[in-house]
Structure 1
Amino acid sequence: MADACKKLKVIIFIGSSREGRLGDRVGKFCKNYLEKTNHEVTVFDPIALDLPLLKKPLHFYKDLSEAPKKLKDSNDQIKAADAFLFVSCEYNHCIPPALANLVDHFPCCSFAWRPSGIVTYSAGIFGGVRCAMQLRALTGELGCISVSNTFGIPQVQSAIDENGTPMNDDVASGIKTLISQLDWMACAMKTQKEKHGIPM
């Protein structure tokens, strides 16, 4: 891997905000793996960020100095990232509203020209696959198109413990496959941007 790609910056977006969510353990698992494989990781958690129901996104402020500091700081982190990882369950077979609300506070251009990875999970047997398909469409429109592999974790309560430790070999191999694709694409896109810029 090229020197510029040795410590990629990745933002993890946590999708769920429900009480008793299992997303905490999945987020820890992904963060632990990324840090062990030499990534710089930032977590965007809708509970911690506590953004209001969307009324005025960052890009609707004519004078950005008037925008909330939380939005400006978060946008700077998004723009500085090399890749994104969306970690989500599904609510009523859809993208959770807290995740959509979080993302919609920022313009597409802040996400564009970087890749994303999708990790979904469920307590049942489907692993959040319907949310994953919707996230494919969302990441495409944001300009951070997802890599081909999606990592779905069924019966997550038996697959990852509360500390984010995998409890079976499938989980350990699944994250490795996804992140290897994400790293390859992130490095390729970063190198291309540095050499040739982005299309106008």
Structure 2
Amino acid sequence: MASSTLKFAIFLGSTREGRQGLRVAKFMKNQLEARNYQVELFDPLELKFPLLEKAFHHYENKSDAPQWMQDCDTKLRAADAFVVVSAEYNHSIPPALANMMDHFGESAYAYKPSGIVTYASGIGGGVRAAMQLRIFLGVLGCLSVSDIFSIPKVHEALTDEGKPLNDHMISGAGKLITQLEWMAAAMKNHRDAVGIPK
């Protein structure tokens, strides 16, 4: 079955001190790996993405790009689907998230689905950022599935290591992943069968 070979890339958007997003990213990684999927985590603090000056797709000769950028592009192109874990900064998406994803062109994301996971320390769960992510991801070519997994009071929902502290976490992640894996498998099968339009 095609879905057994799916590869996922998780983007973690927050870099601010005391960020809660890492526990969310760990949780989503664990949930995907429990279904035997391969997962790559893109963390702007670990990968040290600089402010965007030259995107990977603007290098005429890709071998002239920094090695870390070449490596990230290879992983993105290998992915079948994306999970975007985002905080809400001033009712919008974190600048580190847009900066990280903008380092790579639409062709790295196109014809693959995405899933949106937002969180907040309050009761809103970051849904205003999710609405902006729908547009952002759509323009990149990785349309988001209909479900949005929003996590209110994230500090009460997950441990630092990403272990769930309530039933909503398992059911909410499960619903999103089920939609995402269906779309990812369908789109992978079609990419393999007919290729990607030029």
TM-score by length of structure 2 reads: 0.98
| Poorly superposed stretches of 4+, deviation over 4 Å | none
What SS is found at the alignment partner of 1:20? coil
Q: Structure 1: any 5+ residue segments left out of the alignment? A: none
- State the AA in 2 paired with 1:16: S
AA aligned opposite 1:158: E
Does 2:121 match 1:105? no
Q: Quote the Cα distance in structure 1 between the aligned partners of 2:44 and 2:156.
A: 25
Which residue of structure 2 lines up, in the alignment, with residue 192 of structure 1?
190
**May I ask how many residue pairs the two structures share in their alignment?**
198
Which stretch of the first structure deviates more once superposed, 107-116 or 61-70? 61-70
- Give the counterpart of 1:125 among 116, 123, 126: 123
Q: 1:28 maps to what in 2?
A: 26
Pick one of 34, 37, 40 that aligns with 2:35. Answer: 37
RMSD of aligned C-alpha atoms? 0.9
Deviation at 1:105, TM superposition (A): 0.5
- TM-score by length of structure 1 reads 0.97
For 2:177, give the aligned amino acid: I
Structure 2 gap segments, 5+ residues each? none
* AA partner of residue 112 (structure 1): A
Per-residue displacement from partner, 1:144-173 (whole Å, max 9, x unpaired)?
Answer: 100000000000001111111111111110
Equivalent residue, structure 2, for 1:157: 155
1:1-200 mapped onto 2 (5 Å cutoff): 2=1, 4-200=2-198
Separation in structure 1 between the aligned mates of residue 38 and residue 140 of structure 2, nearest angstrom: 22
Name the CA distance, whole Å, in 1 between partners of 2:45 and 2:116: 20
1:185 is displaced (CA, Å) by 0.1
Structure 2 CA distance, aligned partners of 1:198 and 1:54?
A: 27
